[in-house]
């Protein structure tokens, strides 16, 4: 049977990626990305206040209750529970949508992906933040 060159190093890398420390570190990166998206959504809401830009209605109230919650080891939710938050994001029969969450997520998609990718790469190399 032929030996595979680098098999030991590859096996060690796979074990690091599958371990509980990896889940914790990747989850932390996902949560940090969620907080960045939350901040972007809050800035979007507040920048539009008084200008007629999305979402001009109840801007301070909506921005103040946008939150990031870790729902599981690798699952984060960014939400607003303000009374009219969903109406502004998606619109109603009497009001056009003035989204702020989806555009914030889209603007930060590459940055969020890079944050998680960097965490995975660090774990794979066996460096950074472990403990």
Its pTM stands at 0.79
Each residue's pLDDT expressed in tens, for the chain with a length of 131 residues = 677 787 787 777 777 777 888 899 999 999 999 999 999 999 888 876 555 555 555 667 788 889 999 999 999 999 988 888 888 889 899 888 888 899 999 999 999 999 999 999 998 887 755 44
Question: 43: which 2 tokens?
Answer: 């800035």
Report yes or no: 55 and 88 within 8 Å, Cβ to Cβ. Answer: yes
DSSP letters spanning the chain: -PPPTTHHHHHHHHHHHHSHHHHHHHHHHHHHHHHHHHHHHHHHHHHHTTTTSS--TTHHHHHHTEEEEEEETTEEEEEE--TTHHHHHH-BTTB----SHHHHHHHTHHHHHHHHHHHHHHHHHT-SS--
The pLDDT of residue 109: 96
The pLDDT of residue 18: 78
CA angle 49, 59, 108 (to 5 degrees): 85
The pLDDT of residue 85: 86
The pLDDT of residue 27: 95
Report yes or no: 9 and 39 within 8 Å, Cβ to Cβ. Answer: no
Q: For helices 20-48 and 7-18, what crossing angle results, to 10°?
A: 60
CA 49 – CA 6 distance, rounded (Å): 57
Listed by start position, the domains of the chain span 20-124
The pLDDT of residue 58: 63
The pLDDT of residue 131: 44
């Amino acid at each position: 049977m032929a030996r595979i060159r680098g098999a030991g190093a590859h096996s060690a890398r796979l074990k690091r990626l599958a371990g509980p420390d990896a889940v914790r570190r990747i989850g932390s990166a996902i949560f940090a990305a969620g907080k960045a998206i939350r901040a972007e959504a809050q800035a979007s809401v507040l920048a539009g206040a008084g200008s007629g830009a999305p979402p001009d209605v109840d801007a301070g109230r909506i921005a103040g209750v946008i939150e990031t919650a870790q729902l599981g080891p690798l699952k984060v939710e960014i939400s607003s529970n303000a009374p009219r938050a969903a109406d502004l994001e998606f619109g109603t029969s009497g009001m056009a949508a003035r989204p702020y969450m989806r555009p914030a997520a889209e603007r930060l998609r590459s940055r969020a992906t890079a944050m998680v990718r960097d965490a995975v790469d660090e774990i794979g190399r066996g460096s950074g933040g472990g403990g």
